[in-house]
Amino acid sequence: SMGGAAVLDLAASLGSSKPVRGVAAIAPWNGITDAATPSSVAGNIKSPVLLFCSKMDQLCPCSGEVGAATGAGQTWASDVLFNTIFAGRTKDWFGGVDAIFDAAAARGGGVNTTLVELSRGGHFAMAGIGRKQLEDLGRRMGQLRIVMDIGISAAEINTGTSVSETGGLVLRVTTAFLEETLRGDETEFVDAMRDVSSEEDAVTIRTGTGE
């Protein structure tokens, strides 16, 4: 989320000054206000871009208001928490991940942009992080129970498959993308995208080259 946004901002700021071979961002957060939102600068990235989002992500959904699909932020307690942490941001993160894709896909020069939209998997599930890991982390950090509950709910939205399978899918596609952009091996990425495309009920793939 925040890391994905930072990677996109960095790649955009480097532009052509330093070679960036490829940029992969999982559930990038488009709600930052004290720096450039990724959607406002994604058009400056000169390398291929791979994005992931989940329609069931409670924190950084593909589009729409935070929690609209899952209920996060809809109770008074979680709404107060969200408004405290994310004060000053729009609740749709300025168009969300879809807005980042649209900006990157509009680039000229035939540079590839790929967005993998999942219909399952909460924010943490895309990284293969499940309930027990979040509970353990919350205890170590001394977090309030409400913070843990919101995080755990985000990880547990995973209809039809396990957290490890969702995380494994994201990992395989990301690794294959990096193999292509860093080593020039297109085979694994083509195979991974074909396998993902076969899961028609769970995944939507959008691509753009700006041409």
Cα–Cα distance, 54 to 56 (Å, whole number): 5
Token pair, residue 76, equals: 């008074």
Q: Spell out, as residue ranges, where the chain has pLDDT lower than 50.
A: 155
Per-residue pLDDT at 176: 95
**How many CB atoms within 10 Å of residue 1?**
20
pTM for the full predicted model:
0.85
Tell me the CA distances in angstroms from 65 to 20, 61, 93, 147, one per residue in order. 32, 8, 8, 19
Nearest to 107 by CA among 25, 211, 36, 20: 211
Tell me the CA distances in angstroms from 26 to 71, 108, 140, one per residue in order. 21, 23, 25
Biggest alpha carbon–alpha carbon distance for the chain: 50
Per-residue pLDDT at 50: 97
Per-residue pLDDT at 81: 62
Cα–Cα distance, 194 to 203 (Å, whole number): 11
Is the CA virtual torsion 97, 103, 107, 110 positive or negative? positive
